[in-house]
Amino acid sequence: MKSTGNFRMVPGVLRLLWTAFLATFAAQALAADAVLPCPPQLRTAVHFWIRVYTQIDTNEGFLHDPNHLGVVYATVRFAPDSPPSQRQRIVDRERDRIAAQLRSIAAGVRPLTPEERRLRALWGPHPSPAQLREAAGEIRFQLGQSNRFKAGLIRSGAWRHAIARALAAHGLPPQLAALPLVESAYNPRAYSKDGAAGLWQFMPGTAERFLHIDAALDQRFDPFSATVAAAQLLSYNYRILGTWPLAITAYNQGVAGMLRAVHAEGTRDLGVIVRRYHTAMFGFASRNFYASFLAALYVDQHAQRYFGPLRRLPEEHFQELTLPGYVSVAAIERAADVGVARLRELNPGLRPPVWDGELDVPQGYRLRLPAGGVRWTVATLRARLGAQAILAAQLRPPVYRVQPGDTLSGIAARYHIDMWALARFNGMPVDGMLRIGQSLRLPGAPPPPVQAVAQVAPESAAPGTLYRVRPGDTLTGIAARYGISPATLAARNGIGLNTLLQVGEPLRLAAPTSGTSAALAAIYRVRSGDTLSGIAARYGISLRALAERNGIRINALLQVGESLHLPGHAPSAAVLAADVTARPAPLTPPVDDPQPVSARQAKALGPMLGPEADPAPSVDPANYQVAANDTIRVAPAESLGYYAQWLGVSAMDLRRLNHLAFHQPVWIGERIRLDFHFVTPQQFTARRLAYHQALEQSYFARYRIDGTRKYVTRSGDSLWTLTRRFSDLPAWLLRQYNPHTDFFTLHPGTALVIPRIVPAAAAG
């Protein structure tokens, strides 16, 4: 078929005919796909999203009916770079105009204007007045995406091969590589208003099952790690739901939501579900998610027909090695001779505190360095860095940036911190409101170690030797390097301890302590919130001795990053002071490609490609709703005591209601009748969900899922023995991966899926 790179130049009538021809061709091609079929009920929706992705850009949009996507009333156009408020006024004015015309047609006003005849014709030959009145109140606006989609196609080249390998390794259809076009336009820095992040738009709660997220690292922004996690999640969805249309919709709606839809309609046919199933949770975004994916897939496969020749970015190549300790970005930049901008491109999972110099790159992190040149190994990096740059732990409290939906209790549970201690540490009330993007310091870590990962002796200097100040040098850093005190070095050169050094300035070096380095002091780097008395108490040092050792007053105001000598500590710790201020100034992301760190910044980046998709709230397939007869099915980790607490009644009341003897247990899967005198079923369900979310959050703060394994049950196996056999795997997680298995009638030979659990500290 001939390329149409100048598609937008085709006159109006020809353009409509060409669009209709492509839509027919696309419908035939998609309908023939056995793995990812297009149900007949979704073909009009697929055509609509193809138009959104190829015909109109982000300075245009469709006003359309949300339930009949073939009904597009008008195309609204905006001035480039016009503010959102101005755009909203234009949309509202045009929507009101069309609504008034639809109501006029419904009222039977005659004669109809040409515009009114056009609007009526969109609804077929004989639309009813009730249908038109209802349509007048439901007009929806959809922003165009052609420029974003084209940019996403170009960006996709950098990762499409790695994504293909990950999908193949998990036995998944290669077509799923089109999903990031819908989720993020292949932007690894994408951050939604709801807190979803990265190429695959993971929500924090879902991501923590498969990825590492903490103050220094968020693997949602790492395209390679996030792709493996997305493959695991999609595989999980398919295993539970049985079809790819349902599994892909569950990526947006959640497994539990799709199971409810399947049970409510009695079918796994997504076309039937989309047509019949309407609830508050299964709205426009969920109904259109699979259709928008099919549209993205088709345009991706036939990009030249819509955009002309495209040159996709080349595949990203790099070297990887595991860091043997905590290392600053500045030290890596110097050792590898790589600019910080390039390091940031290769390591997008590292969070702003690392790039700003507030935290070091964590131990165990899989550092990426440019391909070519030096063949990097851990030994090579050690040699280039020097042992003084490789630390055993972060030297300051970790910092957590508040995400949408966070609570103080939830953050405390995630990091195993007492909630009241967390509040006190940050000078806020325990019931204080959190702001999205707010930084919280996390207490509870042991005192920073005064021991480096590798030992190195201080350099020696003959008396009278001159040292030329280099970029990043500080007085304390030079003193530590040569085994002398900052006070001695300052006195030798007639300068103050806080003097700002100039690059190239000569300093006279005093000789190290004669005979041995045993008198050398350990070095401590000042952290946010530190006081001299607090540091002295932490290390069991006299406050006066600490002040005198560093030539400062007892009540001196300390500067973050300043180095203090700790008298009486091991000499090897002096290396911790080396190049303490050699870190770069806080790095500002490029203006044209910001890395959003809050919902506010995400909103400023503009709308997503897809149908305003709401990320799946949970991977848990369990149905926690109350049945119509006021009963629930007992889930793992629940008890009568919890039910009583959530209902505001006593456990004995529930025992009497359910004819249970004293101390008689309730069993997982058993039906229990509830007493709703004091709370509504909705309030009970909300409390029950919050409990399970906190349970999962606490567990995935310590562990994450690293794939699955198959297991065939043997004689004697039960839910309890299985959770003991597989590293104390919790029953609720085992049931999540096997929701259709009745563990109380378990027979030998039953095939189970067992999630592989690894410590969350494996930063990867």
CA distance 533 to 553: 11
CA pair distance 547, 713, nearest whole angstrom: 66
Q: Give the burial class of 708: count Cβ atoms within 10 A of its Cβ; 0-12 exposed, 13-18 middle, 19 or more buried.
A: middle
φ/ψ bin of 125: left (φ > 0), alpha (ψ from -120 to 50), beta (otherwise): alpha
* Dist. CA 586–CA 351, nearest whole Å: 12
DSSP class of residue 574 equals G
Q: Of these residues, 60, 183, 208, 638, which one is catalytic?
A: 183
**Are 234 and 200 spatial neighbours (Cβ–Cβ below 8 Å)?**
no
DSSP string across 651-705: HHHHHHHTTPPTTPPP-TT-EEE---SSS-HHHHHHHHHHHHHHHHHHHHTTEEE
Distance from C-alpha of 708 to C-alpha of 761, rounded to nearest angstrom: 19
- Range 724-753 burial, b when 16+ CB lie within 10 A, else e: eebeebbbbbbbbbbeebebeebeeebebb
Instruction: Reply yes or no on whether 333 is catalytic.
Output: no
What does the block give as tokens for 363? Answer: 């131990």
Rg of the Cα atoms in the chain: 31
Q: What is the DSSP track for 209-260?
A: HHS-BSSSBBGGG-HHHHHHHHHHHHHHHHHHH-SHHHHHHHHHH-HHHHHH
Neighbours of 602 (CB within 10 A): 23
Neighbouring C-alpha atoms within 13 Å toward the C-beta of 509: 23
Where does residue 140 rank: exposed (0-12), middle (13-18), buried (19+ CB within 10 A)? Answer: middle
Q: In which residue are the tokens 């540490």 written? A: 425
The answer to whether the beta carbons of residues 504 and 468 sit under 8 Å apart is yes
For residues 303 and 153, the answer to whether their CB atoms sit within 8 Å is: yes
Residue numbers annotated as active site: 183
